[in-house]
Amino acid sequence: MSSVMCPICRGDFEASLSISLPFCSERCRQVDLGRWFGEDYGFPREESSESEQEPEIN
């Protein structure tokens, strides 16, 4: 028996029972992947909305 800590949910789980090491579950593995893609690409934004949010400086 060897329990390890999931880096995503920080919960202890049995390593031999997990199918998504080093994560406790497939769900946590997807969360980790989502973090990387989210930081690299972010969410798609329309250019029109960005121009509307542009602050006016007088």
Kindly list the residues in this chain that would bind Zn ion in the complex (CB under 5 A).
6, 8-9, 24, 28
- CA distances, 3 to each of 13, 18, 30, 52 (Å): 5, 10, 21, 51
Query: Is 14 strand, coil or helix?
Result: strand
Rounded to a whole number of angstroms, the minimum distance from the CB of residue 46 to Zn ion is 34
For Zn ion, the closer of residues 21 and 38 by Cβ is 21
For Zn ion, the closer of residues 1 and 8 by Cβ is 8
Rounded to a whole number of angstroms, the minimum distance from the CB of residue 16 to Zn ion is 16
